[in-house]
Chains A and B, each alone.
Chain A
């Protein structure tokens, strides 16, 4: 029995890719047959490690494609690429990446799956498989963001189509409760919580917390709120001018953030470091991790930071940070989008070495619950129960046919 994961681009470096690969690699090691269906290939090789036992199927290879070829197939494909998608929900965040061509490829491939379990990883995919997946396969949707974070149109579609899925997995308890409320009339859809995981493959070392560095890491875009963090840091610098802020990651806001650093004259203190493959190494050289997101699906970086013993100061944004951090025990939660509050909390940890150290130690203990061993085991349980379920159903069908046969 095969398990399929449907993801947008397994070659990229986002949180979803990370956690899906953690799970897939773990399960492959437990001898599951895993296939990752990646709609796109945009980079030459995957950013994160892929276990060789995991099969990757690419539907649309953007990297290798030569759109200037003159043959008919390419010309038809180019035409289809230029038409808007009809099957993907128009409120999907990355709707521009989708087209009629990706519709056709997704549809055909999906229909070619005749049995197994299919896990999809974003709302538009969840909707897609609920509408077009074959009846025999078990459909599992995953929600990485809280319900209220969706646009209205998407919310309506979710209410209408998610019940066609067999399972819905959320990342946080709050989300779980919320979805239970929405779908409580529909008992066919099972909703459960499995959070994201951090891999334990690499050895995780503890930071000494001696470096006068605050770090942040994530995609440079509006949701991550690095503009707010930079503003906050200008206050930190006034009181503690020997501290630095390093922001790792890349994204479309890069130029805006660069300009903000220039305008506030923070170029001696705030640095846009570019992406890093080894966040753990950077964590070892830092003392505080800052999260300024306006919205979070979960906050995997928070877990990673706590794993290295680096206490986190984060906005209490919906949803995620508050389920990972216990305020004032293993990290600090600040009112959402409160820039001064963020600055004050950072200053608190900057100025109190002892508090920093204590929080760091608590943090390490606290996040053991997110390790891939523990999360992977949850997935293992989950799939085992699905298999048992399928066997029972088959058994029922068999006995039905047996009895109907015998009655003839």
Chain B
């Protein structure tokens, strides 16, 4: 029995909970209940509420007074004074009940059932601090103090006199006394519509109640507007209380009737709106999905009861681009039945991948197909229509889905039938190549045969290709509606094996499998790190064994680190956490080879097949050899950090080369109220950065920033970047290199090269698009038409996005170089760079070739841009364009860019590249490795 009690001590314990909370200006009223459980109610000497700071352990005790007694429980009201939180920023406080009785002194954590029904999420303490009361995972009450957390909420939204919008609410923000505006931010263009707000009260929070009069709603357009409260330069997202009714907001403006359709986003409750002209609405009453077409029945709702008859134009427009499919319908007495011939449109390659919206054209106006009058809200999440699978001109299966948008509009999504979800293993057996992982196969997917035939195509260097027939096994996992496990097996001979092994992710691998009369194509990014030996396979299956072996290896490391003497010739190199052989460590290494430095190089890389000149030792992370060399190495060259387990020995020398001139705020420069502050200033990070003995800086700007943001106190090397040395070699050397690289990538000699290197965007990843084909924000067809004869386009996406570069149709004009090891070689061969908010601009400027900034989402990025060291708008050494058409037009005149931007570019170059002269590595060797020079 005693043993059982150890496992789970459940005696009916005393319990304290808060069941109601109300806020007053100077304190928070907490209604508390104490439940005695099975214990006899002991004589209690004193009872206190303890408010304790979880971080600093600061404690405040408050005596409990005036209890009320009931059958089995007691209640009291506790007034929590706000003054104790006045200096508290980003801290968490927990509440306890301290009971001092004759026999014992016990602390009981106070539970909570009240926070769910709180009116507002924040209670202001003063102009700098607000409190957030929340329910922990264990159901306890805690308080988080937030610094200057600006928050704005609407409590009322109504139409007044049919021509004004009454909006009222609260703004919690520290800036008192400044002007406040209600802002409607157009999500498509860059316009903001501002309305000045009259403030009602000035205290810790501010109330507003305003009648908004719009000048001309029609001119504001059809796009979505997000609402903000602007305070000074800060835009606070305006959210809305769940209880407010958002329906039936109509307004007459300049003799036209509009409905204001407000929506709030699920998580953040951020308010947005579209203005719908009621003059004419196209209401779809019935959608029928057939195997070849979609039938849309509806009627035209005209405000003036005009009878509408005759032929009308339909336009189906691809979102974010200019592509339009034209069609027409016959309208009888305002009613129509439109048959969208999906099979034909897909087959003729007119309906391509992307999102398409349907409009009826009336005079000059485009009126969207909607279903707003059927009494069902939120059709976006409730209505699920069957999908149509149909082959395109190349006989590849595409999937068409008709759905409702957030604003109940009808849209069409066209996408691929199959995408890779997860690549699990690559196995080279005796005469067989096996690849397995998980796929997402679109519905309807119930009748998929277990074994299918197909092909896989590898793209190899020098323009070679390899096509192999395969058998694919497909098993539905049942975890989601779409998920299938796949096992691809191909028969290969030895020479094929060697070829594939060496070049396995030169580019994406295309898999084509036969479904009836047509094929479905999906892409795989075959990472070398997924290649398994069969022995490893056994290991991998048993995670217990793996964990055991890892902990043994670590113990081995710690032992070696203490006992075995350092070997002063060993230099350990790593770049980008072992992902490739590239960047500054590579630049420095190759120079050391050239100068015949007497050293024993060790490269840490994930790829087992990595080719590195000079015959260094190549080790994979987390292997015994890896731990061995980390323990005995003297010099360590990295552009990032070695993992946390690593313990720096005395007399070892760490050279931090860093990996680029910084754009985004780093380390302690980050705003403390930002969510990324904690991880960028964490203790672990500081400990890793303390290892640096030398820090390489390419320019004054970078040196200053890194020293300040990372509190770096050791030796800084103001020498330029080893990786840029190559850009300053002599002409002959460079042109020889260029020829070699062009040949490797199979780029025709007569074509000029444009490099497109957009920055990584979090949104795409988090919206589950990480396996969907990358959507280029300029029209690829147009690009090929206008520039296909003169240029090739090299696309360099972030390695994590590499699999999304699915550009099969544009072979030999558009290339995927996302897997290419070192971007500096791409700089060498390119004639023009297109980028956005990426620090590639700083390195490319060394070539003095033109740069175009394609910032298609500059609006959404504006808040991030504020967190940059560099002012893109002001100092960009090239034109900033925000849409595809402008981009193509700018490429057209790219020859005149050097002249047009001469001054800006020169200023940019002087600030960021003036130290570069091809001798950066040389200088590092002189300063750091002088003892190894022969």
- Chain A residues engaging chain B, CB cutoff 8 angstroms: 2, 31-33, 41, 44-46, 50, 52-53, 55, 57, 59, 61, 63-64, 73, 76-77, 80, 101, 104-105, 108-109, 112, 114, 211, 213, 244, 246, 255, 258, 261-263, 265, 267-268, 271-274, 285
Contacts and interface: CB of A to CB of B under 8 A. Distances in A.
Interface in B135-173: 135, 137-139
A80 B7 contact: yes
Contact of B382 (A46, A112, A273): A273
A249 B33 CA distance: 34
B7 A112 contact: no
Contact of A108 (B5, B35, B288): B5
A71 B135 CA distance: 25
Given A44-B139, A53-B33, 10 more contacts: A50-B113, A55-B15, A61-B138, A76-B7, A112-B11, A262-B384, A267-B287, A267-B383, A267-B384, A274-B382
Nearest to B72: A33
Contact of B38 (A45, A50, A112, A273): A112
A44 B135 contact: yes
Contacts of B17: 52
Contacts of B289: 265, 267
Nearest to A73: B7
Interface stretch (B373-381, B866-874, B892-900): B373-381
A112 B73 contact: no
A108 B2 CA distance: 11
27 contacts: A44-B139, A50-B113, A52-B17, A52-B20, A52-B33, A53-B70, A55-B15, A64-B138, A73-B7, A77-B7, A105-B8, A108-B8, A109-B10, A109-B12, A112-B11, A114-B38, A244-B375, A262-B385, A263-B386, A265-B289, A267-B287, A267-B289, A268-B288, A271-B383, A273-B382, A274-B381, A285-B375
B72 A104 contact: no
Nearest to B384: A258
A55 B113 contact: no
B42 interface: no
Nearest to B13: A57
A112 B135 contact: no
Contacts of A59: 10
The 5 closest A-B pairs by CB, nearest first: A52-B19, A33-B72, A262-B386, A64-B138, A33-B71
Given A108-B8, A267-B384, A274-B382, A55 B35 contact: yes
Contacts of B38: 112, 114
Contacts of B375: 211, 213, 244, 285
B749 interface: no
B382 A271 contact: yes
Contacts of A271: 376, 382-383
A2 B38 CA distance: 10
B116 interface: yes
Contacts, number: 93
B481 interface: yes
A195 to B, nearest CB: 28
A245 to B, nearest CB: 11
A2 B72 contact: yes
B202 interface: no
Given A57-B12, A262-B385, A268-B286, A244 B4 contact: no
A260 B288 CA distance: 15
Interface string B495-522: 0000000000000000000000000000
A77 B4 CA distance: 11
Contacts of A267: 287, 289, 383-386
Nearest to A269: B286
Nearest to B114: A52
Contact of A64 (B71, B139, B481): B139
Interface of B: 4-8, 10-12, 15, 17, 19-20, 31, 33, 35, 38, 70-73, 113, 116, 135, 137-139, 285-289, 374-376, 381-386, 481
Contacts of A52: 17, 19-20, 31, 33, 113
Contacts of B12: 57, 109, 112
Contacts of A46: 113
Nearest to B137: A64
A211 B373 CA distance: 13
B8 A104 contact: yes
A104 B4 contact: yes
A255 B4 CA distance: 42
B206 to A, nearest CB: 31
A76 B35 CA distance: 30
A32 B139 CA distance: 25
A105 B286 CA distance: 55
Contact of B4 (A2, A63, A108): A108
Contacts of B33: 52-53
A76 B7 CA distance: 7
A76 B376 CA distance: 50
A96 to B, nearest CB: 17
A78 to B, nearest CB: 11
Contacts of A64: 137-139
B224 to A, nearest CB: 24
B113 A45 contact: yes
A108 B10 contact: yes
A104 B139 contact: no
A109 B374 CA distance: 53
A44 B116 CA distance: 10
A91 B4 CA distance: 26
Nearest to B376: A271
A76 to B, nearest CB: 6
Nearest to A50: B113
Nearest to B287: A268
Contacts of B287: 267-268
Given A45-B116, A63-B137, A261 B71 contact: no
Nearest to A242: B285
A401 to B, nearest CB: 24
Contacts of A32: 71
B374 A77 contact: no
A114 B160 CA distance: 65
Contacts of B15: 55
Nearest to B8: A105
Contacts of B381: 274
A270 B137 CA distance: 37
A26 to B, nearest CB: 15
Contacts of B135: 44-45
Contacts of A41: 139
Contacts of A104: 4, 7-8
Nearest to B11: A112
B381 to A, nearest CB: 7
Identify which of B17, B116, B287, B383 gathers the most chain A CB atoms within 10 Å of its CB: B383
Nearest to A31: B71
Given A76-B7, A109-B10, A112-B12, A261 B384 contact: yes
Contacts of A261: 384
A61 B381 CA distance: 31
A239 to B, nearest CB: 16
B137 A105 contact: no
Contacts of A211: 375
Contacts of A244: 374-376
B288 A265 contact: yes
Contacts of A114: 38
A143 B375 CA distance: 40
Nearest to B387: A262
B327 to A, nearest CB: 22
Given A112-B12, A265-B289, A285-B375, A255 B481 contact: yes
A114 to B, nearest CB: 8
A80 to B, nearest CB: 7
Nearest to B32: A52
A112 B376 contact: no
A267 B289 CA distance: 10
Identify which of A52, A101, A271 gathers the most chain B CB atoms within 10 Å of its CB: A52
A132 B4 CA distance: 16
B645 to A, nearest CB: 17
A101 B376 CA distance: 45
